[in-house]
């Protein structure tokens, strides 16, 4: 499965921890399959892992789940666009953009 396919799957999944469990597993697989872009996959793996750890046993509002799915999807789209360019500079810039956006967010992951 490619990063683009994972992004599309996440976009159409129901908001909730199950989607993040699947995302985490997909990122782990991509780390093994595409080690040259492991940092991209590891960043998303970490976000997904944290989301599951924080919220799997808690009731969250549908709005909270939807808002965070949209946020994650925005990160996935930024990284997907860069990966599709297959240019190291674009990927590096996308990673920095996601990290900076995360740092200025509520840090729910």
Span 75-102, pLDDT tens digits: 999 999 999 999 999 999 999 999 999 9
The pLDDT assigned to 7 comes to: 98
Span 9-48, pLDDT tens digits: 999 999 999 999 999 999 999 999 999 999 999 999 999 9
* Contact call for residues 52 and 77 (beta carbons, < 8 A): no
Q: Per the structure block, which two tokens stand in for 12?
A: 């159409």
The pLDDT assigned to 61 comes to: 95
The pLDDT assigned to 73 comes to: 98
User: CB neighbours of 65 closer than 8 A, spacing ≥ 6?
Assistant: 15, 16
**CB-side neighbour CA atoms (13 Å) of 3:** 29
The pLDDT assigned to 46 comes to: 98
Q: Tell which residue, 11, 13, 41, 47, has the closest CA to residue 28.
A: 41
Ramachandran quadrant class, 66 (left: phi over 0; alpha: psi -120 to 50; beta: rest): alpha
Average pLDDT over residues 61-73: 96
């Amino acid at each position: 499965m490619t990063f683009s396919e994972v992004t599309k799957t996440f976009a159409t999944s129901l908001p909730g921890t199950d989607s993040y469990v699947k995302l985490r597993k997909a990122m782990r697989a991509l780390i093994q399959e595409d080690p040259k872009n492991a940092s991209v996959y590891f960043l998303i793996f970490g976000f997904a892992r944290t989301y599951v750890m924080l919220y799997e046993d808690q009731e969250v509002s549908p709005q909270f789940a939807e808002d965070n799915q949209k946020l994650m999807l925005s990160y996935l789209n930024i990284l997907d666009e860069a990966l599709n360019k297959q240019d190291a500079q674009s990927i590096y810039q996308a990673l920095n953009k996601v990290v900076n956006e995360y740092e200025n967010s509520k840090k729910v992951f």
